[in-house]
Structure 1
Amino acid sequence: MDIKTLHDADVISISTAKSAFDTLATAFGQHIESWQHDVVDRLSHSEWTGTAAGHANTRISTLGTELQSAKQELGLVSRALQDAYDGFAAAQAHLISALDDAKNQKLTVADDGGITWDKDPNSPNFAGKDAETQAQQIQARITAALNEADHADQTINSRLGHLATNAGNGTGLDSATAKADTDAANALEQVPAAGTDPNSVKAWWNGLTDEQQRRMILNHPDQIGNMDGIPAVDRNQANQINLQRAHQDIQHQLDGLGPEPNQFLNVADSNGFPVENPDYTTWKQKHDDLTDKMNGIKAIEARLNTKVDATHPPTFLLGFDTNGHGHAIVAVNNPDTANNVSTYVPGTGARLGSIGSDINRSDVMVASANNANKQAGDKSTTSSITWVGYDAPQNIIPEAADDTYAKNAEDKLVSFENGLHATHDGKIGNNTILAHSYGTTTVGYAMRDHGLPVDNAVLIASPGAGVDNAKDLRIDPNHVYAAQSPADAIGWAAATDPSGLGDNLWDNLKTDFGFGDGDHHLMYGRQTTAPQFGANVLPVDPNAGHSDYWNADSPTLVSMGQIMAGKY
């Protein structure tokens, strides 16, 4: 598709053709009604019997089915023509808008898309000091419009070509074929059910024109924004709608809470202590929950609105809702186009309200990966995704001592990782899953029970990954990495299973006599940095606390970046 073709396209002719085809389809339907009344009904009321009558009735019945199938197929042609008009009209409008803006800004657009301008400040046609920036933006809009038209052309051509083939070889007269074609056309107008395989979702999305995709985003942002298999750019658009609506809703609820009630009643209990006001308790719980979610919303907004520069890559909101403690999935750099992609799964305490600090971790990990690439003379790009797409435990006891949270997250994480491959432009060069604390248990369970399509697994400060050996994570154990500082309290997450307790006692006994081998079990399996686990142990600051692995001077952070970049 080129500028002149799209600009001069007579899209009204498509609408006219659609109207003409509707007239044809209506006339065809009237002929079917006449056939039913003048032939079928009269024949059924006749007293014609015998072998010939039986053959005739059978053929007439078959012919009636074929006519109804043909009517369905004609209707599908009309729907395709309408979608063609909508798609091409939108693309043409976007092109004309870009060309008009170019003209207003004194930029000259050539037929091949090249843009020139007068650079003489004394000329009446001087385009201004920011002409180059404006030209780049116009160029991007023109390219997007042409791509939009190409996409519409391909999708509509495929649909019309299929229907034309059916008409040419007679398969369109088959009721099963007509039903399948109708179901396929209806599916284009319906969001796939939750849990649909990401590859099927991507195929559905690709079958829509850009205009149909826009309508889906506007009409169903909550579904599109959180569906694996939808490209990152489109999920981001949908989730920014969800984010704005949630901001308004949460603020409305906060405003509706009214003033804070008195904390205590004017009475004392049997021990003489003041009795807490039930109204205050209810108010406080709602207020704290809403405030926490608002903090998360504002943190996401702040990062999305940060000006993109060398130290602040673009961000994409790949998932968002306020259900429960709230969920958010935020990518630093576009995972669909980055050479290397890493998913970071935080642990206990992860929720919408805490997303700001987790996004910061993705930022510093991308910077670390960029530095690793720079040192290697590699221009590859890296995306780090903060995945708070599950209900994480919110406290150490009792929630983090319960593996139900990890089990409930397995299918969600598997679907998300499969979705990254479905939407990526080509094959992901180096794919990493990186987790912290209870997040390593969540990742470990998913890898153990289902397998994840990743190249590397990085387990930071793990209370156990649900397995006793790295090989049980279903990837090459040479690409499993672990880090745990001696000062990290996670080492106190004692084993609760009998075998783990027994192994720990035996190893402690051997250590007392000078021949212990460092084997140790934690709450959810063997310590990931124990030699027997079989992971590559990363360097750590020996004084690092549980959340210090992302500090600026952390050797672990350097290693994380190298692994993500494929340079470790």
Structure 2
Amino acid sequence: MNDVVSYADVRRWKPEQLDAVHQQLGNRRDDLVNLQDELDASRNPDGWNGDAAQRSAEQHRELVERMRSLVAEVATVRAAVATAADEVTAIKRRVEMADREAEGHGFQITEEGGVRDVKPPENVPAGEAEQVRAQRIRVRDDLVDEIEKILDQAEATDAALAEALDAADEDEVRAGAGTTLASAAKTEDLTALADSAGQPPHNTAKANAAWWKSLSDEQRSALRENPPPWLGNRDGIPAVVRDEANRANFDKTRSQLRDERNRLAQGGISEDEQAEADQLDAKLKDLDAVEDTIARDNRQLLVLDASGERVKTAVAVGDVDTADHVSVFTPGFTTTAADSLKGADAETQNLVAESQREMMRAGKDGEVAGVFWLGYEAPQTDETADVTGDSVVSSESAKEGGEKLNEFYKGINSSRDTDPHLTAIGHSYGSTTTGYALQGGGHGVDDAIIYGSPGVGTNDIEDLHVPEGHTYRLEAKDDFVADLSRFGGDPSHMDGFTDLSTEKSDEGAQVTGHSDYLHPDTTSQHNIASVVGGVPENAVEGKTDGVGDALSYVPHQVQEGASAVHDWGSDRIADVKDLFS
């Protein structure tokens, strides 16, 4: 950036380059902070005394302080770069709008920021000439005023970033309180900015999004640099911020679990404590799986929650903040991060790639992101007997998970300036959870896909609040779960679903059973990818009926009849109340 910012400079600014620098600085900061163990190990050994020991200790203290200063400088510059990236993005948007406005009225904004009349209107009636001239003068003056404001904002952005760079270069940045490298990043200025942001008044996607958008760029940057533990799990916060916050909180989450596990182990684990110890061990394995998964390229960690009985998580492939198409897949029975995340992440990556190919095949551009959402505790085998609680035969886990999933859907839309094409996908018990999430309404889901579904919690497709004709169902041969009709009836008998084929076709192989719907090079994967990519016309329609569907028809009809009776009774009660009102 130059001392004097010109309009030509602003046109050439690229916020994505600042985003890349922000990421690189984050990696550098993490590398520095991760040297803490080596610094600790290099302290004087116990029992070493004398002049040499004293000089060694002093040199170690100086080294620690230099390292802490460096961490503070990187944190300060990184926050300033994040602020500048946001500002440059806003400035570029203003430049594009000004250029469009100028072109639409026959003007051109020059590289120097002047306004040139390049295409005055022709054949203007004599009686309207003065009015047209006055109008063009107003447009020109408005453009000149906007250009001045753009350049003022650009100058301020340039100066703020330069100030942070100069402060770091002149060693004017003071490390945060404490003795560790991590605490050094919490400088007084960044801490004050983060504290001034406060918290959202309510933990809803709408409130979180409104709070985040109300903050200044400086406050947002300070929060990103030193995120509070709760920030990463708040629906409505941008995905990139959630990812950074959850990654920053990851080691602390694991340390807390390890400390709790070590506490239990002291003096031996009693029979009563063994279940708690086993649960902690399982959570640590869950975190290992999450860590391995987010180490892969192009991943976003959108949920990290170690409370409750199992770790909850959500990992995206792609950029949820910018993708044109976003899918959210919810799994079902027996799913855990430790046992399921690696395979699920691979399926998500394949689905994103296949969706991209289907778009290209249809001659459409755009980016796709896919989320594996395990933000609820899916029922497990050892809970089957708990028929009124967490059992797979109970709807309780699906209802609780559905409330969280509904907010997650809302958060994707509310965190962005433009809504993506959003597809909800649910498999097995996860389709039931998806069904309850959709029944919550207000979710912004454009398409919904269920497969291997024991029911979506209702027998009326309108309850899902998905646009008509945009709800899809797949059922493979020999998938007995899809015929259970456990939750709201068998979807294969519900009006309004579009049935997509799982049979062999020109688009892929057949799938059978309950678990292979997303297997590569199958008709079912092709169909799901076509919907996710916004090209459902590429999908192969078809329905696989078996003995189970015939058997499930009767209980489905019974549930539909019961629902109709309930609706009729509600209407009659309302009529009676009206008579006495």
Q: TM class by shorter-chain length?
A: 0.5 to 0.7
| Deviation, structure 1 residue 210 | 3.9
* In 1, Cα distance between equivalents of 2:278 and 2:2: 55
**What TM-score do the two structures reach when normalised by structure 1?**
0.56
Kindly provide the CA deviation profile for residues 184-206 of structure 1, in whole angstroms up to 9, marking residues without a partner as x.
Answer: x999531114424x344223223
Q: Name 2:532's counterpart in structure 1.
A: 564
Q: Does 1:339 align with 2:327?
A: no
Residue 418 of structure 1 aligns to which amino acid in structure 2? K
**2:305 corresponds to 1:321:** yes
What amino acid is the match of 2:257?
I
Instruction: Note the C-alpha offset of 1:258.
Output: 4.3
Q: Letter of the aligned partner of 1:318 in structure 2?
A: L
1:191 is matched with which residue? 199
The answer to whether residue 349 in structure 2 is matched with residue 372 in structure 1 is no
In structure 2, the residue matched to 1:224 is 231
Is this contact kept in 1: 2:428–2:482, CA < 8 A? no
1:194/1:386 CA distance change after superposition, 3 Å: farther
Can you give the 5+ residue segments of structure 1 that lack an aligned partner in the other structure? Answer: 7-90, 102-139, 158-184, 262-277, 309-313, 494-521
Kept in 1, the 8 Å contact 2:406–2:440? The answer is no
Change (3 A) 1:488 1:426: same
| Selected match of 2:372 from 377, 386, 396 | 386
2:481 counterpart residue number: 490
**Are 1:293 and 2:283 counterparts?**
yes
Task: Determine the structure 2 residue equivalent to 1:480.
Answer: 471
- Secondary structure at 2:469's aligned position in 1? helix
TM-aligned CA distance change 1:419 to 1:454, over 3 Å: same
Q: Which of residues 245, 252, 269 in structure 2 aligns to 1:245?
A: 252
Give 3-state SS (helix, strand or coil) of 2:434's partner: helix
| Partner Cα distance (1:471, 1:450) in 2 | 10
TM-aligned CA distance change 1:400 to 1:548, over 3 Å = same
Decide whether aligned partners of structure 1 residues 360 and 291 sit closer, same or farther in structure 2, where only a CA change above 3 A counts: farther
- The CA deviation string for residues 308-344 of structure 1, in whole angstroms up to 9 with x for no partner, is 3xxxxx1111111101212111111111100101111
1:391 and 1:331, CA in 2 relative to 1: closer, same or farther beyond 3 A? same
Name the SS of the counterpart of 2:491 in structure 1.
coil
Cα distance, 1:291 vs structure 2: 3.0
| 1:421-500 superposed matches below 5 A | 421-428=413-420, 430-491=421-482, 493=484
3-state SS in 1 of match to 2:435: helix
Q: Which residue of 2 aligns with 1:146?
A: 84
How much does 1:371 deviate? 1.9
Give a deviation string over 1:497-517, Cα, whole Å, max 9, x none: xxxxxxxxxxxxxxxxxxxxx
Tell me how far apart the structure 2 counterparts of residues 528 and 5 of structure 1 sit (CA, whole Å): 65
Code of the aligned partner of 2:331: P
User: Relative to structure 1, is the Cα distance of residues 551 and 523 closer, same or farther in structure 2, using a 3 angstrom cutoff?
Assistant: same
Structure 2 contact 79–224 (Cα < 8 Å) conserved = no
Counterpart residue identity of residue 281, structure 2: T
- 2:392 and 2:227 mapped to 1: Cα distance? 35
Which residue is equivalent to 2:120?
none
Tell me which residue corresponds to 2:102.
none
Offset of residue 425 of structure 1: 4.0
Which whole-Å CA distance do the structure 1 matches of 2:279 and 2:462 have between them? 41
The residue aligned with 2:333 is 348
In the other structure, the counterpart of 1:36 is none
* 1:483-505 alpha-carbon deviations (Å, 9 max, x no partner): 12231130452xxxxxxxxxxxx
For normalisation by structure 2, the TM-score amounts to 0.55
Alpha-carbon contact 1:410-1:446 (below 8 Å) kept: yes
Give per-residue Cα distances to partners, 1:274-310, cap 9 Å, x unaligned: xxxx935743x3443233222322222222222x3xx
Please give the alpha-carbon distance, in whole angstroms, between the structure 2 residues aligned to 1:221 and 1:356.
28
TM-align CA RMSD? 3.7
Paired residue type of 1:462: S
2:402/2:435 contact within 8 Å kept: no
Partner Cα distance (1:209, 1:316) in 2: 24
Structure 1 residue 409 corresponds to structure 2 residue 394? no
Matched residues in 1 for 2:464 and 2:314: separation? 24
- Give the counterpart of 1:279 among 267, 270, 273: 270
Q: Distance in 2 between matches of 1:451 and 1:146?
A: 34
1:335 and 1:424 in contact (8 A); partners too: no
In the TM superposition, residue 259 of structure 1 has moved relative to its aligned partner by 9.8
1:544 equivalent to 2:515? Answer: no
Distance 2:200 2:476 in 1: 45
Contact between 1:296 and 1:356, CA under 8 Å: does it hold in 2? no
Q: State the one-letter code of the partner of 1:447.
A: L
The alignment-based identity, stated in percent, is 27
* Alpha-carbon offset, residue 461 of structure 1: 0.8
Find the counterpart in structure 1 of residue 3 from structure 2: 4
Alpha-carbon offset, residue 227 of structure 1: 0.9
Contact 1:341 1:384 in 2 (8 A): yes
- Matched residue of 2:372: which SS? strand
Higher CA-based Rg: 1
1:221 is paired with a residue whose SS is coil
- In terms of mean alpha carbon deviation, does 252-261 or 322-331 score higher? 252-261
In structure 1, the partner of 2:211 is 204
Tell whether the 8 Å contact from 2:79 to 2:222 is kept in structure 1 after alignment: no
Residues 448 and 481 (structure 1 numbering): CA distance in 2 closer, same or farther, change over 3 Å?
same
- Structure 1 residue 446 displacement after superposition: 2.6
In 2, Cα distance between the equivalents of 1:439 and 1:535? 17
Distance in 2, matches of 1:476 and 1:393, equals 30
Distance in 2 of aligned mates of 1:151 and 1:369: 29
Q: Secondary structure at the match of 2:518?
A: coil
Partners of 1:217 and 1:224 within 8 A in 2: no
2:294 maps to which of 289, 300, 304 = 304
**Offset of 1:147 from its aligned partner?**
2.6
1:342 aligns to what SS in structure 2?
Answer: strand
Give 1:250 shift: 2.9
Aligned residue for 1:409, secondary structure, equals: helix
- Which residue type is aligned with residue 391 of structure 1? E
Quick one: distance in 1 between partners of 2:511 and 2:234? Answer: 41
Partner Cα separation in structure 1 for residue 89 and residue 355 of structure 2: 34
1:231, distance to aligned residue in structure 2 (A)? 0.7
Question: 1-side partners of 2:442 and 2:414: how far apart?
Answer: 16
- Tell me: CA distance 1:222–1:545, structure 2 relative to 1, closer, same or farther (3 Å): farther
Between the aligned partners of 1:233 and 1:439, the Cα distance in structure 2 is 26
How many Å apart are 1:207 and its aligned residue? 3.2
Instruction: Letter of the 1:482 partner, please give it.
Output: R
CA contact 2:479–2:512 (8 Å) conserved in 1: yes
Relative to structure 1, the CA distance from residue 334 to residue 523 in structure 2 (aligned partners, 3 Å threshold; closer, same or farther) is same
Contact 2:208–2:237, Cα closer than 8 Å, also in 1: yes
Deviation at 1:434, TM superposition (A): 0.5
